[in-house]
Amino acid sequence: MWQEFKDFIMRGNVLDLAVAVVIGAAFSKIVDALVENIIMPSIALIFGDTDFTSDWTYMGITYGVFIQAVIDFLIIASAIFVFVKIVNKLTRERFVAGEEEDEQLVLLREIRDALVEGQKDENRNMEK
């Protein structure tokens, strides 16, 4: 049973998931700081108060809490979207640069192979 547990823990998927959870927790702090300290104060400058939870009630139904949750979600999702787009752009630029190097390597190999093949053809012609 101990060996099965060790096999389960050491499985790649479990380790990947653990890393994702830790990174996700750390990333959520970044997103929270961005939303609370940059985005929400900017919105407050434009629209005034950004807290809908206390003011928006109707006959005891606090629909302002729901509206606040939706607004918070949209702001956080937007911040993550922008962050991911920036990271993808930076990553893509590095990947494309790596691809160009790979393409050059492929072309050099093709030239080498063509030269070797040409050399073999010359040797065959000289033998005849």
Beta carbons within 10 angstroms of residue 27's beta carbon: 13
Identify the burial level of 9 via C-beta atoms within 10 angstroms of its C-beta, where 0-12 means exposed, 13-18 middle and 19 or more buried. exposed
| Integer Cα distance of 35 and 76 in angstroms | 7
Q: What is the reported pLDDT for 95? A: 64
Please tell me the pTM assigned to this model: 0.48
The more confident residue out of 125 and 34 is 34
CB neighbour list of residue 54: distance below 8 Å, 6 or more residues apart: 64
Do 40 and 73 fall within a single domain? no
Do 35 and 73 fall within a single domain? no
Confidence band, pLDDT 50/70/90 cuts, at residue 127:
low
Q: Are 52 and 67 in contact (CB under 8 A)?
A: yes
Q: What is the reported pLDDT for 99? A: 60
34: Cα separation from own chain's centroid: 17
Supply 82's token pair: 């922008």
pLDDT in tens, 46-103: 878 777 777 777 777 888 888 888 888 888 888 888 888 888 888 776 666 556 667 7
Range of the domain at 91: 69-128
Q: Are 114 and 73 in contact (CB under 8 A)?
A: no
| Integer Cα distance of 2 and 14 in angstroms | 16
Do 37 and 79 fall within a single domain? no
Q: How many separate domains does the chain show?
A: 2
pLDDT in tens, 10-47: 776 777 777 788 888 888 888 888 888 888 888 888 87
Torsion of Cα atoms, 96 then 13 then 28 then 62, to 10°: 130
Look up the CATH number of the domain holding residue 33.
1.10.1200.120
Question: What element of type H or E holds 128?
Answer: none
Do 39 and 73 fall within a single domain? no
